Amino acid sequence: MRSLLALCLAAMPAVAEVPPDRARALEHMVLQDCGSCHGLTMKGGLGRPLTPDALAHAEPGGLALIILDGIPGTAMPPWRPLLTEDEALWIASYLKSKD
Amino acid sequence: MRPLILSLLLLAAPAFGQTATGDLGLVIERATGSLVLIDRSDRAAVGRIEGLGDLSHATMTYSPDERFAYVFGRDGGLTKVDLLTQTIAARTVQAGNSIGGAISDDGRLVAVSNYEPGGVKVFDADTLALVADIPAAGKTIGLVDVPGRRFAWAVWDTGEVFLSDFSSPDPVVTMIGNAGKNPFDAVLTDDAHTFLVGLFGEKGVTAFDLWTPDTPPQKFLTDYGKTGEDMPVYKMPHLQSWAFTEGQYALPAVGRHEILWVDRISQTQTATTPVHGQPVFIIAQPASPYVWVNFATPLNDVVQVVDSRSHEVVATLTPGKAILHMEFAPRGAEVWISSRDDNKVLIYDTKTREKVGEIAAESPSGIFFTARAHQTGL
């Protein structure tokens, strides 16, 4: 897992550039679609809690990779067909900084 | 005392004493923790009840007199809502995270299915006082009421299926078998004969015979879609309104753009209908050969109608953005459809399949008419 994290940290830029319109759409998607499993307040459901506290020790790059490729053997699907790498990284940073 | 209470209630809700609840319903506004009270006959919103917490994935059930709704919130909140006064009659935050619930056939007990901590809690329907706390080894799913003051459910993490009996003062909880890997939801057939448990961690559906609970469970649909690659599942299908029609079950294919038709007696697959996306709800239009289907994101702006005789799609509608739920008038004349991202509930005539009305609602999800009070397994 550690080496996987290192890999994606190397592969991904630290800050994701996403146009404001798209950022609004992503915010809506996190709330509504991620919220289906993780809860609208991100306190968890079928999926784990995704509050800033719960993600305090997670690297944005690692989170982005989980968003893009999912977690095999669980209900977390790969979102790569619907998101770019920048967008996944934006979501990861957004989750970590959300109120 | 009585005149005082009555006059107080009259102040709170002018229509009290004149309003019947048989054609009312509630719409969940998932992002704002509120409910819209709707009048089916008037095709109108007649009130709003606020303060229900996190209502993502919320569901509800009704008291036998159709006066009270029991709303099960994501945040573990169980809220009893009075439709006449449009107020919260009682509320308890009974767990950290919950997923649904049911009311016993006699209307005396309300059971809640919890994720965190996993288990089932049972409450007195009048007072919401705790009656029983049944822990589980994981997240409980698919909770239904079973005639005879009983409830059934399954456990996502272990696959275990339980039947509990509250007909005597000392409740009896029995493990009736293992459904398989990661059951995601379950449903009771309309005759309360079969408890069908859908699996996510492996292919298949497992059937438990509740008329003769000693019968070993039967697994079917174990190899659907063998020839193709499954797609990512962006939203779990819901089974609560699984369609039973024309002697068949109409089931969602997990990870595929298909409805699977299964003969109810032999439990063998009889047909496959290719559809627009991954089905979320497949609901039978009452007193008709048709089932209506909505789909998982990102293909969730379409509703399709399928004929259960030919298994053909006979209509494709685009009612709005992010269609989350459909609720039929009890005799099937209308279907009410929630469009989350248009902030509307759309009303369709099922004969013409044309829109006949709409009401405003903030991020609407589930729609629940009071007629559900009299349906077993809801």
* DSSP secondary structure of chain A: -HHHHHHHHHHS-SS----HHHHHHHHHHIIIIIHHHH-TTSS-SSSPP-STTTTTT--HHHHHHHHHH--TTSS----TTT--HHHHHHHHHHHHH--
CB contacts of B97 in chain A (<8 Å) are 39, 43-45
Q: Residues spanned by CATH 2.120.10.30 within chain B?
A: 119-221
User: Which of A32, A34, A48 should be substituted to probe chain B, the one whose Cβ sees the most B Cβ atoms within 10 Å?
Assistant: A32
| Among candidate residues A92, A49, A52, the one with its CA nearest the CA of residue A69 | A92
Task: Quote the ipTM score.
Answer: 0.79
- Where do the structural domains in chain A lie, given as residue ranges? 19-97
Cβ neighbours for B15, distance < 8 A, ≥ 6 positions apart: B84
Judged against a pLDDT cut of 70, whether residue A64 lies above it is answered with: yes
* Statement: residue B342 has pLDDT above 70: yes
Distances in whole angstroms, Cα of residue A11 to Cα of each of A86, B30, B265: 11, 37, 55
Rounded mean pLDDT of B197-222? 94
CA gap A85, A79 in Å, rounded: 10
Contact B363, B32 (CB under 8 A): yes
Q: Three-class SS of residue B200?
A: coil
pLDDT-derived band at B97 (thresholds 50, 70, 90) equals confident
Query: Of A9, A10, A99, A15, nearest to A63 (Cα)?
Result: A9
Distances (CA, A) of B105 to A47, B78, B181, B210, B293: 32, 19, 30, 15, 28
Q: CB distance B56–A70 less than 8 Å?
A: no
A21-63 residue pLDDT tens: 999 999 999 988 998 889 888 988 889 999 999 999 999 999 9
Top-confidence residue, B239 or B141: B141
Domain with CATH 2.40.10.480 in chain B: 236-318
CA distance to partner chain B, nearest, from residue A12 (Å): 23
Q: Please list every residue in chain A whose beta carbon sits closer than 8 Å to the beta carbon of residue B30.
A: 40
| Global confidence as pTM | 0.90
A13/chain B closest Cα distance in angstroms? 26
**Could you tell me which of B272, B273, B295, B294 has the C-alpha nearest to residue B283?**
B294
Determine the residue of chain A that is closest to B54 in CA distance. A40
CATH assignment of A19-97, among 2.60.40.4070, 3.40.50.720, 1.10.760.10, 3.40.50.300 = 1.10.760.10
Mark out chain B residues that contact chain A at CB-CB < 8 A: 30-31, 54-57, 74-75, 96-97, 99, 115-116, 139, 156, 182, 184, 200-201, 232-236, 297-298, 322, 340-341, 363
Question: Which CATH number does B119-221 carry?
Answer: 2.120.10.30
Q: Quote the minimal CA–CA distance from A48 to chain B in Å.
A: 11
Q: Give the residue with greater pLDDT, B57 vs B106.
A: B106
* Those residues with Cβ within 8 angstroms of residue B211's Cβ, 6 or more apart along the chain or in another chain: B192, B193
Model confidence pLDDT, tens digit, residues B54-87:
888 899 999 999 999 999 998 899 999 999 999 9
The H or E element that residue B10 is part of is helix B2-12
**Assigned CATH class of B236-318:** mainly beta
Q: Is the peptide bond before B117 cis (omega within 30 degrees of 0)?
A: yes
Mean predicted confidence (pLDDT) in B312-321: 98
Q: Is A70 on the interface with B (CB under 8 A)?
A: yes
